[in-house]
Chain A
Amino acid sequence: DVVLTQSPLSLPVTLGQPASISCRSSESLVDSDGNTYLNWFQQRPGQSPRRLIYTVSNRDSGVPDRFSGSGSGTDFTLKISRVEAEDVGVYYCMQNTHWPLTFGGGTKVEIK
């Protein structure tokens, strides 16, 4: 199974400052169709997960442009350019290139 390793586990951030979360895969997430199916999800406290980013760098509808995704192969990053109070929660990467689908362990973003 593909193992996704997120870091850090916890990320205290000052409001208005940037934040960056890493997701490293145990194998390449490039599919045979040429796409890389690496997604990012946000789960605010008490809420269902919400997808922010799909195929590495595509923002979902309604997602603020302060969120961006980048990376290739086995190394991926989610960046928040300026953290706002509503960004508090746990962020997960997930791959759907290979079966079984797998999630990273999560990164908890909190305000300092």
Chain B
Amino acid sequence: EVQLVESGGGFVQPGGSLRLSCAASGFTFWTSAMTWVRQAPGKGLEWVSSISASGGVKNYADSVKGRFTVSRENSRNSVFLQMNSLRADDTGVYYCAKEAGDFWGQGTLVIVSS
């Protein structure tokens, strides 16, 4: 059974940093691209970033480019999202998804507020 478990969310002040983690199991992680998607409170889904299976190709939404960094450790079946210079409009639930969304985690809540 595919499982994706996000962690690392929390409350942070504007300008602060958080590192999200996503632990994967139940599939061949090192052959799968991974994606981060977020959802602001009461709003729709927004793609944030994707990383290729090898980690060699990374893509970012313009809204997070230069502030967020996606990475992965295939030996640990994990993908990460380092979020710096956080802003209030980064608030929301962050989901980790396999490939372009065939499986999703339960999400982790990030609140950016002073």
Q: From residue 11 to 65 of chain A, which have CB atoms closer than 8 A to chain B?
A: 37, 39, 41, 43, 48-51, 54, 60
Contacts of A54 in B (CB 8 A): 102
In the complex, number of A-B residue pairs with CB atoms less than 8 Å apart: 51
Max chain B C-beta neighbours (<10 A), residue from A39, A92, A101, A105: A101
Chain B binding surface, main DSSP class: strand
Contacts of B54-87 to chain A: CB distance below 8 A: 59-62
Smallest CB–CB gap between B75 and chain A, Å? 26
Chain A, Cβ-Cβ closest to B104:
A48
Asked if B104 and A100 sit within 8 Å, CB to CB, the answer is no
Partner of B47, one of A50, A90, A100, A105: A100
Contact A49 B59 (CB under 8 A): no
B88 on the A face (CB < 8 A): no
Residues on B with beta carbons closer than 8 Å to the beta carbon of A105: 44
Interface centre among A39, A49, A54, A94 (most CB of B within 10 A): A49
| A106 CB within 8 Å of chain B | yes
User: Does B44 contact A106, Cβ atoms closer than 8 Å?
Assistant: yes
Bound CA span A41–B101, Å? 9
Measured CB to CB, the closest approach of chain A to B88, in angstroms, equals 21
Of all A-B residue pairs in the complex, the 8 with the closest CB atoms, nearest first, are: A101-B47, A96-B100, A48-B104, A103-B45, A106-B44, A51-B101, A51-B102, A105-B44
12 A-B pairs besides A92-B45, A100-B60 with CB distance below 8 A are A41-B101, A49-B45, A51-B102, A51-B104, A60-B102, A96-B100, A99-B59, A100-B59, A101-B50, A102-B47, A103-B44, A106-B45
